[in-house]
Chains A and B, each alone.
Chain A
């Protein structure tokens, strides 16, 4: 079983729409959580951290549900420039912490 699972999509939405992605993780020892954005053939870039109480950054809202072991990303008022693949990242607590990436959810925002 994968440590982190995401719906690959694609999610095709019109400009201005609200879209949400979920990401489930299998290990309850997971310690920290992040969302990254990856444009085609580029490196992943940090979008936002995910805090237990939920957090917002402009049009983006991240939530963590430890009981059900998933994190979510909500994008409001989608822009064409939001088109990308969104990766969730989980850090598992071992002797040394290890990062695990989901395979990503592709978002296409259409005019």
Chain B
């Protein structure tokens, strides 16, 4: 049972580099979202999507881009990495936008 799969699990970047965090789900869920989790801050919504071709900003979207070309995939792009983006990133999905979300294992990202 794959569920929500995130890659990579760990990544170290230098300031200014770009990269894409991958997220895929095999449950045919319409709703997908990206969060970052920092100590003492809880989970903060970065971007979300209610279906293929539809995305919207969450609470902390600056410095990140997303696209949703298929139902299964929802990649998160860091355009120019900054140390403030050091965090644990979680991707989540649910059948609808009012139902509980299932989370991936997370990506631990460090920006030097």
Question: Would you call A43 and B105 a contact (CB within 8 A)?
Answer: yes
Using a Cβ–Cβ cut-off of 8 Å, how many residues does chain A contribute to the interface with B?
Answer: 23
Within 8 A of B (CB), among A25-64: 31-32, 34, 42-46, 49
Question: Would you call A96 and B48 a contact (CB within 8 A)?
Answer: yes
Q: Which of A12-20, A71-79, A99-107 contacts B (4 or more CB under 8 A)?
A: A99-107
Using a Cβ–Cβ cut-off of 8 Å, how many residues does chain B contribute to the interface with A?
Answer: 25
Return chain A residues, CB-CB under 8 Å to B56: 96
Return chain B residues, CB-CB under 8 Å to A8: 40
Question: Would you call A31 and B98 a contact (CB within 8 A)?
Answer: yes
Cβ of B100 within 8 Å of any chain A Cβ, yes or no, is: yes
Task: Please report the C-alpha to C-alpha distance between residue A102 and residue B41 in the assembled complex, in whole angstroms.
Answer: 8
* Chain A residues touching B, majority SS: strand
Closest to B33 in A: A99
The distance from the CB of B63 to the nearest CB of chain A, in whole angstroms, is 19
Cβ of B67 within 8 Å of any chain A Cβ, yes or no, is: no
Cβ of B58 within 8 Å of any chain A Cβ, yes or no, is: yes
Within 8 A of A (CB), among B39-74: 40-45, 48, 50, 56, 58-59
B residues touching A (Cβ–Cβ < 8 Å)? 33, 35, 40-45, 48, 50, 56, 58-59, 90, 92, 97-106
A residues touching B (Cβ–Cβ < 8 Å)? 4, 8, 31-32, 34, 42-46, 49, 87, 89, 91, 96-104
Could you list 18 examples of A-B contacts with CB < 8 Å? A32-B98, A42-B106, A43-B90, A43-B103, A43-B106, A46-B100, A87-B43, A91-B98, A96-B50, A96-B56, A97-B97, A98-B58, A99-B45, A99-B48, A100-B45, A101-B35, A101-B42, A103-B41
